[in-house]
Structure 1
Amino acid sequence: MGVGPRAGGRDLVRIRIEGHTLPGRDPGSHRDVQVGIQVRREPAELVPADAASATWEVEVTESYGADVRDFHGPVVQGKRGERFVYLTWLEGPDATMFRRAKLMLADAPEADVVVARVDLTDEAGLPRCARLRPPAVEWSVG
């Protein structure tokens, strides 16, 4: 992201998350399922899990210091060196969180705009969760 490591540098990076292959509103024992991006501690921009696709666009600040690439912003979770963005799965009329998927920011290419294409359904037909790795997530320069 940005122009590469530079001590003390900070760059604004736009991340476009393109979710495909959603699991449906009632996967497994779950009912009335939605997915959103987590902003601080709250899910936001919820999409019904039977939608054809889901897209979120967020901005994060990327910084460099002493050979370490780091990220900051309201959607950034985790500790330094292990930053990520959560996709949060909710169910029922009270929108109770039951799963989350981690998009690891260190896996993103260095650019001002990046795209993460995410397969949102796991091999069992359930909402994808845990740390996402290829082929479940494909990062590219936008």
Structure 2
Amino acid sequence: MARLVLRIRGYELPGSACGEYRDVHVGTQRGKDPDQLVSADAAEVVFEVPVETLTRADGTVDFKGPYVQGRPGARFTYLTWGELPPGGRFAMFRRAKLFLADLPAGAAAGGIAQTELALTDGKGLPRCAGLRPPQITWRLSGTDDMNDQS
């Protein structure tokens, strides 16, 4: 197994009051729980998500870890959006799915895979749903090679 870190830099956040939502926060999802929560008023967010990579005997790559969701061959990680009022509990209302199959081929060897993306959609709300190239591109740390699967 190799250790991979997903470094997700989000910019253009929608603000803590957007649409019908108040006290909006974004974070990663660890298992079923939100993690690394940051107010959506932030200028930018940077999340680091640890992932273990496993190259099987047949050459296919699988991903493991507490932030990894989905079945083999269709693994992903979530950015989760929710309301977190002062002294209250996080109430998730949207998620964005980042597919691990879209990582550059060299990611199986470990290291750092980075992406940067705007976190506000065209309606001024938190970006959600499945994010696939060209909406999201990944690069391995120390390289200028962005995966281009558009």
Please give the TM-score of this superposition, normalised by the length of structure 2: 0.84
- Asked if the contact 1:119/1:137 (under 8 Å) is kept, the reply is no
Q: What corresponds to 1:87 in structure 2? A: 79
- Post-superposition CA distance 1:8-47 (Å, at most 9, x none): xx21111111111101111111111000000111001101
Q: What corresponds to 1:120 in structure 2? A: 119
CA distance in 1, matches of 2:124, 2:134: 16
Is 1:70 matched with 2:69? no
Is 1:18 matched with 2:13? no
- Asked if the contact 1:24/1:33 (under 8 Å) is kept, the reply is yes
Q: What corresponds to 1:41 in structure 2? A: 32
- Asked if the contact 1:119/1:136 (under 8 Å) is kept, the reply is no
Secondary structure of the corresponding residue to residue 76 of structure 1: coil
1:98 corresponds to which of 86, 90, 93: 93
Secondary structure of the corresponding residue to residue 67 of structure 1: coil
Query: Structure 1: where are the runs of 5+ without partners?
Result: 1-9
Shift >4 Å, 4+ stretches? none
Identity %: 49
CA distance in 2, matches of 1:102, 1:123: 17
The one-letter code matched in structure 2 to 1:71 is F
- Post-superposition CA distance 1:43-64 (Å, at most 9, x none): 0110100100011112111111
CA distance in 1, matches of 2:48, 2:84: 25
Please give the TM-score of this superposition, normalised by the length of structure 1: 0.88
CA distance in 2, matches of 1:78, 1:130: 15
Q: What corresponds to 2:135 in structure 1? A: 136
- Asked if the contact 2:102/2:133 (under 8 Å) is kept, the reply is no
CA distance in 1, matches of 2:134, 2:124: 16
Secondary structure of the corresponding residue to residue 13 of structure 1: strand
Q: How many residues align?
A: 133
Q: CA RMSD in A?
A: 1.2
